[in-house]
Structure 1
Amino acid sequence: MKTSIKKAALRSATCLTLAGALNPATVWAQDTEASAKAEPESTAIIVTGSRIRHDTFTSPEPLTVITRDSMTEQGFNSTTDALQSSSVTQGGSQINNFYGGYVVDGGTGVNTIGLRGLGPTRTLVLLNGHRLAPAGTRGAVGAVDLNTIPTTAVDRVEVLKAGASSIYGSDAVAGVINIITDNKFTGFKLDAQVNVPEIGTGLDRRLSGLFGAKGDNWNFNVSVDWRKRNAVSMGDVDFTKCPIGGYLDGQGTAFGANDYIDPNTGEPKCFTLDNGGVTINTIGVRTREGQDRLTGETGYYNRFVPDASVTGGATPGYAGVDYYTRDSFDPDMLKEPLVTPVETLNVFAQGSYQLNALGNAELYSEFLYSNRKSSSPLYRQLTLDYAVGSPLVPELFRNTAYLNPTAVSNGELVALRSFIGFGLLDSSQNVDFYRAASGLRGDTGLSDWRYDLYGSYSWSKARYSTATFLTSRVAQSLNVVDNGDGTFSCVDTSNGCVAAPVVDAASVGGNLSQAYRDFITQTVTGSTKTAEYIGSLNLDGSLFQLPGGIAKAALGLEYRHSHLDDQPPAESVAGDLYNLTSAAPTVGSDEVWEVYGEVYLPVLANMPGVYNLNFDASGRYTHYRSYGGEWTYKGSVEYAPVRGVTFRGSYGTSYRAPALFEQYLGATSGFLSSSYDPCDNYADSKNLILKANCAAAGLPADFEQKNGVSVYGGGGSSTGLKAETSKNLSLGIILQPVLPQSVGKLSVSLDYFNIEINNGVQRVGGSNIANLCYGSANFNPDAGYCRYVSRDANNALTVIDNYVNVATQKTQGFEFNLRYLRDIGPGEFQFETQVTKFTKQSTALGSNDAEIDYNNTIATPEWTGTFDASYKIGPVKFRYGLDWIKGTGDHTYTVLATDSLTGEVNQDNLELYKYYYKLQTPDYFLHSASIQWDVNDEFEFTIGVRNLTNAKLPRISADTYSLVGNTPLYSGYDYTGRTFFANVTAKY
């Protein structure tokens, strides 16, 4: 790897000094050694966050640099993994391969990045200074899929953690990530890596090649990266094999002390409906007398299981079950992926040619192709609604309506609902992404002013397939005639219809014929296409001499046109996906014209009390076809009163029109199963917060939801969705004392950041809205998330889930960086740390709603830190790293118990609703270590281990957060456990 590092140093002598060569680092406002002698103009560089070429690699704002070698040392097998690490994300949750069973923007398998916890649509991703286009599946494609980024061609990544909308455009609200490739490499490099989890599955391997050549006036290189990561299933790790409710019965009590106890084990029951389970092997009928499954005592039930031992009573052959005694686990559930599998192929080519014309112009070009194949098999429950009078229903239940008379299924009154465990159904994604870019840059002939004329075209084609039940076929199979010989046939046999099974122990237990399974299921396929055109012209050069140096400026204009076309499966458009949401096509386009300017003013230098004083100001006018125009601006200052002490600050604004999918997402309508109503059978739940809120909403104590949950949603362009605006403030101090060589080199920085977004665009999710409404400790049926929830006369639940404008979103905090280098003995020691403290991460949903601060809660930690130490002796380097996420601490939640009729607070019951959940998580530490050995600059070997201590994952109570097992769904945790890695690089 030394060769590529040396070449990088030739392009920017200060880059390695400030970036720490092989480790993540912060670029400081001023490098005291490099400032003494400026580089010649021909080697001036552009640092992320500015359009102006500078002589030194400096930044007036926090800028983290990650080199390709540091990715290898830390065991990251791709650029994707490195970008989603703690040093970049600072604890913010990212969409990665942990989200296989969830609906995410961009579709299953997508990997995205968002800075400061503000989401991927507010973080701009660049490749060599120019924006990358989004890619993915389904209608909500709006962010860059990190899977499209090459790995072996990357030289370094610059991460600007400050708003830069006036420099780069509207979506640079939280910051900018600039992936910079090595365009000077010559020769051939082969790079291979394998990551092997200790659990024995989830193998992750990559094979990469890089070829480069150059002549007197040209250079060219091409890289190929292939990666395949195997799945990790729920049954492969211990912490997902037995999820429980995890309820407490008082402060300080054992986890699960108030759970339902399985009489067979004496321990809390796994996979209850509280956490991970789903009703199977069960029928639902009108409430009636029956014998209890466990005790044999007589009671009243609306859920029964086939039981041949029950020979008498009102329901012979069936035993009654309640919320916890019904079956809710199938071994196939453990086959669902905890980490979804993925295979990617990336091809990246770049080159340049000196024309010796048009101002000594250089013609440069890039081409990127990426293919991603991913999948996620999911467990499905099949519910069959048998009509009143159906010959398939036992005589005992045949002629009594189970659902309310006004609630029908397939146009018929329902006598019986069979809850069947069907098994795994697969889904898959295949995404092709292309990007072709070319530019011309050279001298204008006016002093040292240069021009850069650039254009690119990006497009993606994706197909996504899902095996699912078809509503029409399920209904067709239930409409049968009795053949008189114990068999039944469909009334409509035109398409080879197979009759639904008779309700008996076999069919309820999931023993369905293959012919019936094949008839009601079908693999449906949709397609997503995106396209983006970009054209830009940038001019930069010197203006005039100031006491502190030469004033410089940049001017430019940019045009972008983007298009999104998602065509869901025809069955989805027709609403024919059983118990899944229907979706209309999403088709939309937008274009934007922008003009910008930036000026750099080195006002004073080398004066008493003013070692350095620099100003930078930028402005941009943005005009969207869809949302009109708006100005944004930014100003920054660097002030060093003496050498080694620098104060820096910036303030800027942004204007972001909603992304295409936020504007035009096709209308969706569908039904979640009745179990998605949080108040379904709430009287049997251990969740006391939920019980109080459902009662306060006026639902009877014996409420059972017999209807599906209706969810309606879509884009916001037709409902008054507004553009969002934001303000970004950053203040900092940098200390770089001049120390004796024997002491070493020390650099320290402390920065304060404050970002406020107004009219932020957000979609919450139907199930989440319902849970957030009824799970709130400050329940108000007419405010907050409950404003999007309603019930009809039969208490059927409807949720509206459009993209809406969140009134205000705020993020505030401090970031501390330290780097220390010193020669110790025969080698060099280097230590770096980055610690972030958030003081606020809040949201107010509406202008009249209270601000809710999520800081110091799960997935929004108050403190995060990364620590990195290395020692290099000759060709051998030893590294140790630590990622730290502060736990959430102790939380006590009090719910006021209200009378369901009067709404008055019942003060006598307050203590019942106090500290019922375990919501706190301990500090999480992820250790890693590696050894790297350089052999004659031709071979490099790296071996190491990630998650060295096999860190234990936290456990929290159910009904409070999206979980895997009892662990929060959070990208900051390592679900695969201790993993060994090995990398070999050969150069020729």
Structure 2
Amino acid sequence: MLAGVCAACVTTAGAQEQAAGEPLQLEEIVVTGSRIARQDYVSTSPVTTVNAEAFRQTGALTPENFLNTLPQVSPDVSSGSNNPDNNGRANLNLRGLGANRNLVLLNGRRVIPGDNTGAVDVNIIPTALIDRVEVISGGASAVYGADAVAGVVNFILKDDFEGALADMQYTISEKGDGKEKSAYAVLGGNFGNGRGNAVLNIGWAERDEIGKGERDFSDQAGSTTSYYPSGSYVASGLNLPSQAAIDSVFARYNVGAGKVARNGTLSFNPDRSLFAVGSSSAAYDVQNYKGPDSDIAQAFYPNFFSYNFEPQNKLILPLERTSASGFANYEVNDWVEAYGQFLYANYSATSSLASSPAPTGTNSVDAGAGVFFSVPVSNPFIPADLRQILASRTGDDPTLAGVGASEDFRARKRFNVLGPRVAESRFDVYQVLGGFKGRLPNGWRWDVYGASGKTSMTEIQRGNVSVSAVERLLDAQDGGASLCQGGFNMFGSNDLSVECQQYVGRTAKNLETYEQEVVEGSLSGDLFELPAGNVGFAIGALYYSNRFDFEPDSLLSSGDVAGFSAQNPLHGAIDNTDVYAELLIPLVKDLPLAQSVNFTGGFRYSDHSSAGTFPSYKGEMDWQMIDQLRMRGSYQRAVRAPNIFELFSPQDEDNPEVDDPCSVNSALRRGPNAAQVRQLCIQQGIPAAVIDSYTQFNAQIDALAGGNPNLHEEKADTYTIGAVITSPFDNSLFERFTMSVDYYNISIKGAIDSLSPDTILGACFNADGTNPTYDVNSASCRRFGRSGVGDIVGLLQIAENLGSIKTSGIDTQLDWGTELPNGLGDVSLNTIVTWVDSYRIQELKGQPFLEYIGSIGDDPGDALPEWKAAITGTYVYGPAMAQMRARYIGAMRNENVVVDPTSTDGGVPATWYFDASASWQVTEELSIRGGVNNLFDKKPRLYTDSVDSNTDPSTYHVIGRRFFVGASVKF
């Protein structure tokens, strides 16, 4: 319920009450969560409402900036995320159940999705026209259709604007960077003797980038890599150099015998001397490193060398957006109204990653080399010290050309000379909608509309490397000098002539489109009257079709490019037809402790082109006991059909981070079944000669991820029960007090996802008890292979209907306000607290559930604190307003501890953020505002394995203290 004077309130929807002194409004209304219109409608589902002023008072550039701070929302990939970047798109994630499990609506109607998962990019919402946002954080499939498993976010726009409005805003961080600028203009007016209204909005926004090197917490890598700008040599376990040769070479560097392993990785100093990388097991340390300190990832040095790739990455993506939207309605006659709208947005974002590591997938020229280059010993650039070590080999690796001292060897390199990997993404998005609505003579309402939309993205990738071109240079007898000026010396030197840069470098252009067509019609009204009131009824039908096309550059689909992941074309289409009905039955009215009791039932029947037919339904009760107490509860069967990405995505290259159980320092290699684990590792392909010193030297592994056309729908049961309490007191101090408490319980069965790499490896190595014989041919062990040096390759992750997700908790909201004596103004307080009792995942049917509540992981949306709160205090005095907002994010343990109780990875402590703002209506036409976000400059919480930047940049502030000022002029 609305409570008091709050210029930027977040409220819980209840009865539609009138402010003091206003006449009673008898117009029927529709609240998000139902299709039935009533004069006295109340929300049976818990609905949180955010008004337009809340966005203005926080200086939010895009809608997700504010909505991600609501306790019911788990921040997902935001428009500022660099890696994962989502190409600058911004999605919403209710309850941490995934951006693909909630539905984003505009005025109660579907919005064109932004990608192949069907998730809406809220960048396209015209912020200037937002009247309010209503959030149902519970199942709503029976009312709105598939995807509304976790709930609905409904953006409701102003539809009766008159006049002209111009608004400008400027934001800057305390460090003078991260500038944001925005401006928009709105024109609107009535026409046709007041029978119609039209509104036009034009907007522009720009955000400057911030590099990770600009903040202390993000300028150092928190994860490892085995790709170095100076290149690296990796010994083959089947053809190792002699320990004597290793000791002899390193003795010249004053390194004692035995301090460098013969199966270890070697790299190159600027003077082309060798240095030993060391190992994560601490059995060997870094030896003879002479390179620049800036290349060192200090978190791991001197136990082992890993390259500090973070300074080349962006912390905040640059964004530029222009938008236009228009809305019109016209009363054709007393019974029919025509309406239409269009949305258009053009925006671009640029992500930047560290220079290309190569190769990142299986060598396209020499598959036997695995994820390495194959270098012949005839290469003229091989340093003399490395040549001496190579000459001591006497074995034979059958996957490499040659034998003994003449055998090829494996090498890697990071191509810093080409600069960072840069992806420039430009979007063009439009949606047009038109329809008619009206009343029948019996008072029934009808509404029919059609909509068509398209999202187009062009992505330009720079900094890629052609593996075949590099191999040609390496294989050439002259080191490639005949192919490009100077050839290619990969040992220590990072210099490459412009001609050779052009020879190995590649620019790729990808094209992506998403098209949607929607037609919907509905009819609602009163069927008949019972003693307790009118029986309301709504019926309707919905058809929509979605089509997605992705055409990667032919270079990417060839598998020859390293840098950005190899990708294959994706073409997919789905269509869906729904029929639905909703019935509201008033059961009791005007009885003791039962002023009114109403039941609402809903049913939807869906026919999905891939998932087949399935129902969804709901039952809701609303019980107004007394004026001050209303009880509400609901059960919903929500259903989500698989999206285009889950159904049709080809198996593309992926590089997830995972801990290899075969690494000599892993928990399984040190556990009670270490001997069986060791033998399984050998059977998988790790040479026996190196198994007892084998260490994983790259946290990222080679994997393939893709879709599955055999998926079926996932089903969710959602329960809510709650109470809305209003003040029983008439005095001015307490009469504006309201409180709502709602319990929710959501259970998803057959959840669509892909198995995590940790789960696949754990099952293979019997960590979960599913492979007690340590069979190398078990289903989980067959999901991945090993390269010639032992690292994991080709790990297969496809979308599947897996186990279950269960979550439950309590949302509490309190609103209070009072007018101060002696005309000193008005104060109000809005508090939202979410306590999550449980968030459990069963990855596979039959496995035990793991409890993830109070944990934080390495994927967007993984932050699941037990407690979250948002508290807003507002003071209004005449034309001036001041506001203080506090947010609380509870402490979380590391998700790695959930998966592996022996893990010692640390979590994050509880965090408070404070924001302050003020505004002043200077004249009737002019208002100004300003504020400070992250008032006390709270630093982000750091942990590993993190989402990005050693933290979760969508959950924690990464910019620091920020200031914004803005002004609006209305004519």
TM over 0.5: yes
1:743 alignment partner in structure 2: 733
Tell me how far 1:60 sits from its aligned partner: 1.1
Partner letter of residue 455 of structure 1?
A: G
1:29-60 per-position Cα deviation (integer Å, ceiling 9, x unaligned): 575989999632xx322111011112146211
Q: Which residue of 2 aligns with 1:596?
A: 580
Structure 1 residue 864 and structure 2 residue 868: aligned? yes
Map of 2:818 onto structure 1: 822
2:10 corresponds, among 4, 18, 24, to 24
Distance change >3 Å, CA 56–CA 82, structure 1 → 2: farther
Q: Does 1:981 align with 2:964?
A: yes
Aligned mates of 1:776, 1:207 — CA distance in 2: 58
Bigger drift between 449-458 and 773-782 goes to 773-782
| Aligned position for 1:477 | 473
Q: What SS does the corresponding residue of 1:964 show, helix, strand or coil?
A: coil
Superposed CA deviations along residues 745-793 of structure 1, whole A, max 9, x for unmatched, are: 1111111000111111113566x76788799986876799966743459
8 Å CA contact 2:221, 2:308 repeated in 1: no
Quick one: structure 1 residues 886 and 689, their matched pair in 2 at CA, closer, same or farther if it must change by over 3 Å? farther
The one of 701, 704, 723 equivalent to 1:733 is 723
Q: How does 1:301-700 map to 2 (within 5 A)?
A: 301=261, 302-306=264-268, 317-323=273-279, 325=286, 328-329=296-297, 333-356=310-333, 360-383=335-358, 384-394=373-383, 395-396=387-388, 405-408=397-400, 414-420=408-414, 422=416, 423-445=419-441, 447-467=442-462, 468-482=464-478, 488-490=480-482, 497=484, 500-505=487-492, 507=493, 510-578=494-562, 581-668=565-652, 670=653, 678-679=659-660, 682-683=663-664, 697-698=677-678, 699=681, 700=691
CA pair 558-343 structure 1, distance change in 2 beyond 3 A: same
* 2:76 paired residue number: 94
Matched, 1:223 2:201: yes
Give the letter aligned to residue 917 of structure 1: D
Mapped to 2, the partners of 1:726 and 1:651 lie a distance apart of: 10
d(CA) in 1 for partners of 2:169, 2:18: 38
Return the offset for 1:548: 2.8
Q: 1:855 aligns with which of 853, 856, 871?
A: 853
Give the superposition deviation at 1:626: 1.4
**1:641-698 alpha-carbon deviations (Å, 9 max, x no partner):** 2221111000010221100111011232x4859xx67339944x6x767866988632
Using the size of structure 2 for normalisation, the TM-score is 0.85
Task: State whether residues 71 and 834 of structure 2, in contact with CA within 8 Å, keep that contact through their aligned partners in structure 1.
Answer: no
Q: Distance in 1 between matches of 2:883 and 2:899?
A: 49
Indicate the larger mover: 430-439 or 798-807: 798-807
After the TM superposition, which residues 117-136 of structure 1 pair with which residues of structure 2 at under 5 Å, given as runs?
117-136=96-115
* Change beyond 3 A, Cα 1:19–1:184: farther
Shift in alpha-carbon separation, 1:772–1:234, aligned structure 2, 3 A: farther
Distance 1:836 1:894 in 2: 22
Alignment pair present for 1:844 and 2:816: no
Report sequence identity in percent. Answer: 23
Q: Select the residue among 880, 883, 886 that pairs with 1:879.
A: 883
Mapped to 1, the partners of 2:196 and 2:62 lie a distance apart of 29
C-alpha change, 1:931 and 1:764, in structure 2 (3 Å) is farther
Flag the 1:382–1:448 CA change in 2: closer, same or farther, 3 A: closer
Please report how far the alpha carbon of residue 347 of structure 1 lies from its aligned counterpart in structure 2 after TM superposition.
Answer: 0.9
Alignment of 1:806 onto 2:795? no
CA contact (8 A) 2:322 2:345 kept: yes
Q: Structure 1 residues 415 and 115 mapped into 2: Cα distance closer, same or farther (>3 Å)?
A: same
Tell me the distance in 2 between the aligned counterparts of 1:763 and 1:598: 35
The Cα shift of 1:75 comes to 2.4
The 3 A distance-change label for structure 1 pair 691 and 648 is same
Is 1:163–1:175's contact at 8 Å kept on the other side of the alignment? yes
8 Å CA contact 1:353, 1:364 repeated in 2: yes
The Cα RMSD (Å) is 3.4
- Gaps spanning 5+ residues in structure 1: where? 1-14, 245-273, 310-315, 897-912
> Does 26-35 or 923-932 show the bigger shift?
26-35
Structure 1 counterpart of 2:746, which letter?
Answer: I
The 3 A distance-change label for structure 1 pair 575 and 449 is same
Q: Identify if the C-alpha distance between structure 1 residues 35 and 791 changes in structure 2 by more than 3 Å, giving closer, same or farther.
A: farther
Distance between the aligned counterparts of 1:513 and 1:773, measured in 2?
48
Q: Is the 8 A contact 2:620 2:635 kept in 1?
A: yes
1:74–1:681 Cα change, 3 Å? same
**Deviation at 1:895?**
11
- CA shift in 2, pair 1:214/1:402, >3 Å: farther
Instruction: Provide Cα deviations, 1:606-628, integer angstroms capped at 9, x if missing partner.
Output: 22221121111111101112121
Contact 2:211 2:311 in 1 (8 A): yes
DSSP 3-state at the match of 2:727 = coil
- Specify the alignment match of 1:916 in structure 2: 904
Structure 2 regions of 5+ residues with no counterpart? 236-240, 280-284, 290-294, 298-306, 359-372, 682-690, 857-862
Contact (CA 8 Å) 2:914, 2:934: kept in 1 or not? yes
Distance of 2:5 and 2:106 partners within structure 1: 19
Map 1:38-53 → 2, pairs under 5 A: 39-40=25-26, 43-53=27-37
2:532–2:596: 8 Å Cα contact kept in structure 1? yes
1:723 corresponds to which of 692, 698, 713:
713
Q: Is the 8 A contact 1:380 1:421 kept in 2?
A: yes
The 3-state SS of whatever aligns with 2:232 is: strand
Change (3 A) 1:575 1:895: closer
In the TM superposition, what is the alpha-carbon distance from 1:331 to its structure 2 partner? Answer: 7.3
- The answer on whether the counterparts of 1:393 and 1:416 sit within 8 Å (CA) in structure 2 is no
2:304 aligned partner: none
| Residue of structure 1 in register with 2:159 after alignment | 183
Q: CA deviation at 1:127?
A: 0.6
- 2:206 and 2:319 in contact (8 A); partners too: yes
The one-letter code of the counterpart of 2:318 is P
Letter in 1 for 2:342: F
Distance apart, 1:225 and its partner CA: 1.7
Alpha-carbon distance in 1 for matches of 2:639, 2:159: 34
Corresponding residue of 1:313:
none
Corresponding pairs, count:
885
Is the Cα contact below 8 Å between 1:231 and 1:341 reproduced in 2?
yes
The verdict on how the C-alpha distance between 1:712 and 1:932 changes in structure 2, with shifts beyond 3 A counting, is: same
Measure the CA separation in 1 of the matches of 2:412 and 2:573. Answer: 45
Asked whether the equivalents of residues 363 and 439 of structure 1 are also in contact (C-alpha less than 8 Å), the reply is yes
State the partner residue of 1:298: 257
CA contact (8 A) 1:580 1:672 kept: no
Q: Which of these residues, 216, 220, 225, is aligned with residue 238 of structure 1?
A: 216
The one-letter code matched in structure 2 to 1:981 is: F
Deviation track 1:933-954 (CA, whole Å, cap 9, x = no partner) reads 1123211111110100111322
Question: SS at 1:582's partner residue?
Answer: coil
Query: In structure 2, what is the Cα distance between the partners aligned to 1:873 and 1:792?
Result: 70
Residues 402 and 415 of structure 1 are in contact (CA less than 8 Å); yes or no, is this contact kept in structure 2?
no
Whether contact under 8 Å (1:603, 1:614) holds in the other structure is yes
Is contact 2:266-2:277 (8 Å) kept?
yes
Q: Distance in 2 between matches of 1:856 and 1:35?
A: 47
1:759 equivalent in structure 2:
750
Asked if 2 retains the 8 angstrom alpha-carbon contact of 1:498 and 1:519, the reply is no
Residue 121 of structure 1 and its aligned partner are, at CA, apart by 0.9
Which deviates more, 140-149 or 519-528? 140-149
Contact 2:232/2:267 (CA < 8 Å) preserved in 1? yes
Change over 3 Å in CA distance of 1:886–1:365 after alignment to 2: same
| 1:688–1:916 CA contact under 8 A, matched in 2 | no
* Greater Cα offset, 24-33 or 404-413: 404-413
Does the CA-based 8 Å contact 2:374-2:400 persist in structure 1?
A: no
Asked if 1:712 corresponds to 2:694, the answer is: no
Task: Give 1:451 deviation, angstroms.
Answer: 0.9
In the aligned structure 2, how far is the partner of 1:894 from the partner of 1:532?
Answer: 40
